[in-house]
């Protein structure tokens, strides 16, 4: 074989190898492109899935914000309702105090009228009428003044000014010694100062003037409870419950006593 033939054979062999390498490169490039395409599709799917999750999260966040705003509005409405109920409760308490005052005033007037009536035979008719008018006017004026002083004392208690409250309560008693509430209010001040014996004593003075006065009955029960006299506490708690059924303060005491094994009936 000549040198030319050898050269041609070498060149042909090199060309075959070159074509084989090109085919391999094409295959490798195709596989690479397919892999990249798969990666791109996978990445695109992940991005779309993440985007969908973000949208759902944003939607849920918007719903939660709206629910939070609704809860906030509901909370504000409840606060307003509670404030209105407290205002109505205070108004009812004032009305009840006025009715109590009027009832006490009428009771005192009836007692004095009965005293005058017993001597009616000794008095001319006109004098009887004038005496009755005098009793009614004097009693109403005195009780009104006592009530106003007591009400000022209550305001001082709310303002946490015990000294001023005590002065107003003492003024109420000085104005009308037959008016029960200020005695009990002085007992409440004693209770706040942990002087439970004084609380019982002041409540007793209130009950001398009005035996069914529920706040005084309750204060007595409360003082005995603090002193550890649970049997006495239950006895006075029962009286308070009968005087004012379903009173929240009494109901709470009944539950406390029940946990200690003491029954407060009524």
Return the minimum-mean-pLDDT range out of 22-36, 176-190, 241-255.
Answer: 22-36
Residue 252 lies in a domain: no
Give the separation between CA 263 and CA 255, rounded to whole angstroms. 9
Residue 259 lies in a domain: no
Whether residue 227 is contained in a domain is answered as: no
Residue 209 CA from chain centroid, whole number: 34
The size of the chain, in residues, is 266
pLDDT the model gives residue 211: 94
Give, to the nearest 10 degrees, the angle between helix 230-243 and helix 248-259.
150
State how far the Cα of 237 lies from the Cα of 233, in Å rounded to an integer.
6
Q: How far is CA 27 from CA 17, 19, 22, 47, 116, in A?
A: 15, 12, 9, 30, 131
With a cut of 50, say whether residue 132 has pLDDT above it. Answer: no
Domain assignment present for residue 243? The answer is: no
Domain that holds residue 139: 95-179
**pLDDT of 124:** 46
Contact 145, 175 (CB under 8 A): yes
In a domain, 143, yes or no: yes
Q: Is residue 40 part of a domain?
A: no
Residue 162 lies in a domain: yes
Domain count, the chain: 1
Residue 161 inside a domain? The answer is yes
% of the chain residues with pLDDT over 70 = 76
Q: Please provide the distance, in angstroms rounded to a whole number, between the alpha carbons at the two ends of the chain.
A: 135
Contact 206, 187 (CB under 8 A): yes
Between 129 and 201, residue with greater pLDDT: 201
Mean of all residue pLDDT scores within the chain = 80
Tell the residue number behind the tokens 């799917």, with chain if given. Answer: 45
């Amino acid at each position: 074989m000549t040198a030319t033939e050898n050269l041609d054979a070498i060149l042909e062999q090199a060309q075959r190898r070159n074509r084989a390498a090109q085919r391999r490169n094409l295959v490798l490039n195709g596989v690479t492109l397919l892999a990249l395409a798969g990666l791109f599709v996978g990445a695109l799917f992940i991005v779309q899935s993440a985007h969908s999750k973000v949208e759902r999260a944003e939607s849920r966040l918007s719903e939660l914000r709206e629910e939070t705003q609704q809860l906030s509005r509901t909370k504000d409405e409840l606060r307003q309702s509670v404030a209105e109920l407290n205002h109505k409760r205070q108004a009812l308490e004032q009305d009840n105090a006025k009715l109590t005052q009027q009832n006490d005033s009428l009771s005192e007037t009836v007692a004095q009228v009965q005293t005058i009536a017993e001597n009616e035979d000794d008095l001319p008719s006109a004098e009887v009428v004038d005496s009755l008018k005098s009793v009614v006017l004097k009693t109403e004026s005195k009780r009104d003044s006592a009530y106003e002083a007591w009400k000022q004392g209550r305001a001082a208690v709310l303002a946490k000014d015990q000294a001023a409250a005590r002065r107003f309560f003492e003024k109420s008693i000085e104005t009308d010694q037959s008016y029960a509430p200020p005695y009990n209010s002085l007992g409440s001040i004693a209770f706040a100062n942990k002087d439970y014996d004084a609380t019982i004593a002041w409540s007793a003075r209130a009950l001398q003037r009005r035996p069914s006065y529920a706040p005084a009955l309750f204060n007595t029960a409360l003082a005995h409870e603090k002193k550890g006299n649970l049997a006495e506490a239950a006895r006075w708690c029962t009286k308070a419950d009968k005087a004012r059924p379903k009173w929240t303060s009494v109901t709470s005491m009944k539950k406390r006593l029940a946990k200690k094994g003491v029954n407060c009936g009524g």
